[in-house]
A and B are shown apart, each in its own frame.
Chain A
Amino acid sequence: MMIVAEGLTRSFGDTRAVRGVDFEVPEATVLGLLGPNGSGKTTIVRMLTTALPPDSGTARVGGHDVVTEAGAVRPMIGLAGQYAAVDENLTGRENLEMVARLYHLPRVEARLRAAELLDRFDLADEAADRPVKTYSGGMRRRLDVAASLTSDPRVLFLDEPTTGLDPRSRQTLWDVIEELVAAGTTVLLTTQYLEEADHLADNIVVLDHGRVVAAGTPAELKRRVGSSVLVLILTSEAMVPSAVAIVEESCGCRAEVSGTEISVPVSGGPAMITRTLRGLEDAGVGLADIAVHEPTLDDVFLSLTTEDGFDGSGSSAPDTGGNGR
């Protein structure tokens, strides 16, 4: 296990941001921490990256305790935050060289590493030597992620890395993350985008108000919400009553009807679908379209997290404020 969190707890004044969180991340996998604003995601990342000591509980990264062995944890981790943690007054190149030097790379190597990362993240043109305050949001984010890869970390923490990025930049960043994981990097990713967690994460931990409300693979979580749904669209409304009878008989449950559309839960796997379609064909029911809808992580998210978390009104927990103040 590259990351092990046991009973992590942290409060800020009266706000209990994280209340006893446990999870494990195997090497070379991606864990998605999913949760609404204020659910404690950023606070967990700050504790795991040695920036913030937990009130209680322990965490080990790469086998080292993040509090008592922080000096051993830091050389092997990289962090990119939701607020790009780069120096506005320095150029992109100066930022990367500074971080490389602070990882104690020799000067020449630091320069080469910075140039390599600028090149890789499409910042090598004139942007490299412009102060970061002239960068667009997407460029800052790319620079921030580049900085987090300076030391070629074994464990990478990405705190909402794609928040505010356009779809193309998001896809490029996803590609980078997949490449890193394929090469053996362990990634902990926080996100509010279910699509992102579904796409990247091997395992997902759903947080709400500082607690783990669900954990598992994306497929497992989706299964928890319910089965797939078979949707049939008929060619004519006249056939609906007889079609509903056939469908309900083959699944042994009630179907939902809306116009020419019939939806029914898939119980019993593909056999049920085959049975239903054969029945419809035998009865001469014309089908305009057939679809099987898998539940999405959005369904998981909405069913597991409390609604007030979305606007933050019910939980003024610190990860809404960027860096927890």
Chain B
Amino acid sequence: MTESTIGSRTAPRTESGETPEAGSRLAWLVSDTLVMARRSMLHYVRVPTVLFFALVQPIIFLLLFRYVFGNAIGAGIGVDYADYIVPGIILQTALFAATNTAVGLAADMGTGVIDRFRTLPMSRSALLTGRTLADLSRNVVVILLMIVVGYLIGFDFQNGPWAAIGAVLLALLFGWSFSWVGAAIGLSIRNSEAAQSANMLWMFPLMFTSSLFVPTRTLPSWLRAVADVNPITFGVDAVRALSLGGANTAGKVTGALIWCLVLVVVFIPLSVHLYRRPE
């Protein structure tokens, strides 16, 4: 703090009274989202243990299910269990991003940096869109790794390359949609440990009462009724159909897309509302 040119107005000062046009407002949303996504991704780089465990955890799940339960469960399914479980684990890892979203936003809300963001002329929603974009990018990495590990334990895309790409994109979209559920939870709870626990509260029951690990027809009828409307069942069935082929792929994908739409329509406005609510 030695020189005396701080007040010299070297930087262009934004004119007072400037209100952005609709076009530049959209441009701001895009540019601010990228800035905020970069920030969240730098967190992944600076705290590499988070990403490390995000990568290791699904690998452990995959190996456990493939080798511990695989033979017992697989016998009754009619397909190789590796082919059955890998699309499920891909979707599961995509869903785990929702926890990152919840924890990251809850942590932000507890620090002073949020007051700075609130007073900057940035797009109001960019903190949220940036966060979910960063978690989507994380999913790209984790899902590609799951596919590599999947191939090593006997998984195979059986429906052609385009359907395989479709499966990955659908899993990414599904993970992104659920990120907004995590966002709403993180913004409501505003404490990162509590947000993590709260997220597990819906995520694990929802995962295990779906077709993620076993076909729903093996469940007792009352539970099957739950599983058949579970969004995760729709997501897994669609990703599995795209990966392996089979009857009614288009119908399953449509079902999954409708669920994504529902989640996004409900949880994006809810999250934005929760973020704007000051206290």
Interface residues, chain A, with chain B CB atoms under 8 Å away? 12, 46, 49-53, 62-64, 69, 71-72, 74-77, 79, 81, 83-90, 94, 98-99, 101-105, 109, 113, 116, 119-122, 131, 142, 147, 149-152, 154, 172-173, 175-176, 179-180, 182-185, 322-325
**Closest Cβ of chain A: how far from B12's Cβ, in Å?**
8
The residue that B119 contacts in the complex, of A79, A86, A120, with Cβ under 8 A, is: A79
Q: Is the CB of A53 within 8 A of B278?
A: yes
Cβ-closest chain A residue relative to B122: A102
- Please judge, given known A-B contacts A90-B42, A180-B6, whether A151 and B14 are in contact too, CB under 8 Å: yes
In this complex, which of A89, A182, A322 has the most chain B Cβ atoms within 10 angstroms of its Cβ?
Answer: A89
Q: Is the CB of B6 within 8 A of A179?
A: yes
Give every chain B residue within 8 A of A88 (Cβ-Cβ): 111
Q: Is the CB of A102 within 8 A of B279?
A: no
The residue that A147 contacts in the complex, of B14, B47, B116, with Cβ under 8 A, is: B116
The 8 A CB mask of B231-275 against A (1 = contact, 0 = none) is: 000000000000000000000000000000000000000000000
Question: Once bound together, how far apart are the Cα atoms of A172 and B1, in whole Å?
Answer: 7
Within 102-159 of B, Cβ neighbours of A (below 8 Å) are at: 111-122, 126
Give every chain B residue within 8 A of A180 (Cβ-Cβ): 6-7
Give every chain B residue within 8 A of A173 (Cβ-Cβ): 1
- Please judge, given known A-B contacts A104-B31, A172-B1, whether A151 and B46 are in contact too, CB under 8 Å: no
Q: Is the CB of A121 within 8 A of B118?
A: no
Q: Is the CB of B6 within 8 A of A52?
A: no
B49 at the A/B interface (Cβ < 8 Å)?
A: no
> Which 3 residue pairs of A and B lie closest in terms of their CB atoms, listed nearest first?
A183-B7, A75-B14, A85-B112
Q: Is the CB of A101 within 8 A of B31?
A: yes
| Besides A88-B111, A150-B11, 11 new A-B residue pairs in contact (Cβ under 8 A), listed by A number | A69-B17, A75-B14, A77-B119, A79-B119, A83-B112, A87-B39, A98-B38, A109-B12, A119-B3, A176-B6, A323-B115
- Please judge, given known A-B contacts A50-B118, A87-B39, whether A72 and B18 are in contact too, CB under 8 Å: yes
A-B contact pairs, 17 of them (CB 8 A): A49-B118, A72-B17, A75-B15, A77-B119, A83-B111, A85-B116, A86-B113, A88-B111, A89-B42, A98-B35, A102-B122, A122-B2, A176-B1, A179-B4, A179-B6, A323-B112, A323-B114
Q: Is the CB of A183 within 8 A of B11?
A: no
B221 at the A/B interface (Cβ < 8 Å)?
A: no
Cβ-closest chain A residue relative to B15: A75
The residue that B116 contacts in the complex, of A79, A182, A183, A322, with Cβ under 8 A, is: A79
Q: Is the CB of B10 within 8 A of A152?
A: yes
Give every chain A residue within 8 A of B13 (Cβ-Cβ): 76, 151-152, 154
Question: Once bound together, how far apart are the Cα atoms of A71 and B15, in whole Å?
Answer: 12
Q: Is the CB of B42 within 8 A of A102?
A: no
Give every chain B residue within 8 A of A94 (Cβ-Cβ): 39, 42
B65 at the A/B interface (Cβ < 8 Å)?
A: no
In this complex, which of B17, B111, B116 has the most chain A Cβ atoms within 10 angstroms of its Cβ?
Answer: B116
- Please judge, given known A-B contacts A90-B39, A176-B6, A180-B6, whether A52 and B120 are in contact too, CB under 8 Å: no
